[in-house]
Structure 1
Amino acid sequence: MTRSLYLSNVRLADGQFVSVSSVDGRIEAIGAHVTAPPGAHLEDGGGALLLPGFVEGHTHIDKSNWGRPWYRNEVGPLLTDRISNEREWRKTSGHDAAAQSLALSRAFVQMGTTRLRTHVDIDTDARLRHLEGVLATRQTMHDVLEMQIVAFPQSGMLVRPGTVELLGSALTEGADVLGALDPALIDGDPVASLDATFALADRHGKPIDIHLHEPGEIGAFTLRLLLDRAETMGMQGRVVVSHGFCLGALPERERDALLDRIAHRRVALLTSAPPSRTVPPLKLCRKKGITMFGGNDGIRDTWSPYGVPDMLERAMLIGMRYDLRRDDDLMIAFDCVSEAAARGCGFADYGLRAGARADLVLVDAASVAHAVVARPVRKLVVSNGRIVARDGALA
Structure 2
Amino acid sequence: MTQRHWLRNVRPYGAPAEDLLIENGVLSQRRPACDTPLAASDVDGHNQMLTCALVESHVHLDKTLYGQPWRPNSAGPTLKDYISNERRVLREVQAPIAERAGALLENCIARGSLTMRCHVDIDPEFGLRHVEAMQQLRERYRDLIDLQLVVFPQTGLISRPGTAELMREAMLLGVENVGGLDPCGIDNDPVAQLDIVFRLAAEFGRGVDIHLHDKGELGVWQVALIADYTERFGLQNRVMISHAYCLGMLPWAQVKPVAQRLAALGISLMSSAPADCAVPPFLALRETGVNVCLGSDGIRDAWSPMGNGDMLERAMLLAFRFDLGKDEELAAAFDAATVNGAQALGLEDYGFAMGRRADFLLMPVETLGEAVVSRPLRQVYRGGELIASGGRLLSSRL
TM-score by length of 1: 0.96
CA deviation after TM superposition for structure 1 residue 33, in Å: 5.6
In structure 2, the CA distance between the partners of 1:184 and 1:135, relative to structure 1 (3 Å rule), is: same
**Contact 1:5/1:40, CA 8 A, preserved across alignment:** no
The match for 1:201 is 201
Check if 1:20 corresponds to 2:54: no
The match for 1:392 is 391
**Contact 2:14/2:50, CA 8 A, preserved across alignment:** no
CA distance in 2, matches of 1:357, 1:183: 38
Identity of aligned residues (%): 40
CA distance in 1, matches of 2:40, 2:368: 28
Q: Secondary structure at the match of 1:48?
A: strand
CA deviation after TM superposition for structure 1 residue 177, in Å: 0.6
Could you list the structure 1 runs, at least 4 aligned residues long, displaced by more than 3 angstroms after superposition: 33-36
CA distance in 2, matches of 1:121, 1:17: 45
CA deviation after TM superposition for structure 1 residue 95, in Å: 4.2
The match for 2:113 is 113
Task: Note the alpha carbon deviations across 1:132-190, whole angstroms, 9 max, x for none.
Answer: 11111110110110110111111111110010110111121121111100000000111
The match for 2:147 is 147
**Contact 2:212/2:219, CA 8 A, preserved across alignment:** yes
Where does the alignment leave 5 or more consecutive residues of structure 2 unmatched?
A: none
Q: Secondary structure at the match of 1:210?
A: strand
The match for 2:71 is 71
RMSD of aligned alpha carbons: 1.7
Task: Note the alpha carbon deviations across 1:243-273, whole angstroms, 9 max, x for none.
Answer: 1111011233221111111112111111111
CA distance in 2, matches of 1:226, 1:290: 15
Check if 1:2 corresponds to 2:2: yes
CA distance in 2, matches of 1:111, 1:363: 11
The match for 2:247 is 247
Structure 1 residue identity aligned to 2:7: L
In structure 2, the CA distance between the partners of 1:35 and 1:192, relative to structure 1 (3 Å rule), is: farther
**Contact 1:21/1:35, CA 8 A, preserved across alignment:** no
In structure 2, the CA distance between the partners of 1:165 and 1:35, relative to structure 1 (3 Å rule), is: farther
Q: Secondary structure at the match of 1:41?
A: coil
Where does the alignment leave 5 or more consecutive residues of structure 1 unmatched?
A: none
CA distance in 1, matches of 2:35, 2:359: 19
Task: Note the alpha carbon deviations across 1:338-385, whole angstroms, 9 max, x for none.
Answer: 11110111111211121111101111112111111111111x210123
CA distance in 2, matches of 1:162, 1:41: 56
The match for 1:375 is 375
**Contact 1:211/1:242, CA 8 A, preserved across alignment:** yes
The match for 1:84 is 84
CA deviation after TM superposition for structure 1 residue 104, in Å: 1.2
Q: Secondary structure at the match of 2:62?
A: coil
The match for 2:215 is 215
Task: Note the alpha carbon deviations across 1:204-237, whole angstroms, 9 max, x for none.
Answer: 1111000001100111121222111111111111
In structure 2, the CA distance between the partners of 1:366 and 1:14, relative to structure 1 (3 Å rule), is: closer
Structure 1 residue identity aligned to 2:380: V
Superposition pairs for residues 160-239 of structure 1, below 5 Å?
A: 160-239=160-239
CA deviation after TM superposition for structure 1 residue 91, in Å: 2.0
Structure 2 residue identity aligned to 1:382: Y
CA distance in 2, matches of 1:217, 1:348: 36
Structure 2 residue identity aligned to 1:93: V
CA distance in 2, matches of 1:40, 1:175: 43
Check if 1:301 corresponds to 2:301: yes
Superposition pairs for residues 321-332 of structure 1, below 5 Å?
A: 321-332=321-332
**Contact 1:236/1:267, CA 8 A, preserved across alignment:** yes
How many equivalent pairs are there?
393
CA distance in 1, matches of 2:192, 2:20: 52
Q: Secondary structure at the match of 1:46?
A: strand
Q: Secondary structure at the match of 1:44?
A: strand
Q: Secondary structure at the match of 1:119?
A: strand
In structure 2, the CA distance between the partners of 1:144 and 1:2, relative to structure 1 (3 Å rule), is: farther
Q: Secondary structure at the match of 1:237?
A: coil
Task: Note the alpha carbon deviations across 1:187-208, whole angstroms, 9 max, x for none.
Answer: 0111111111111111211110
The match for 1:292 is 292
CA distance in 2, matches of 1:277, 1:93: 29
**Contact 1:144/1:386, CA 8 A, preserved across alignment:** no
CA distance in 1, matches of 2:374, 2:58: 23
CA distance in 2, matches of 1:42, 1:72: 49
CA deviation after TM superposition for structure 1 residue 3, in Å: 3.2
CA distance in 1, matches of 2:281, 2:92: 40
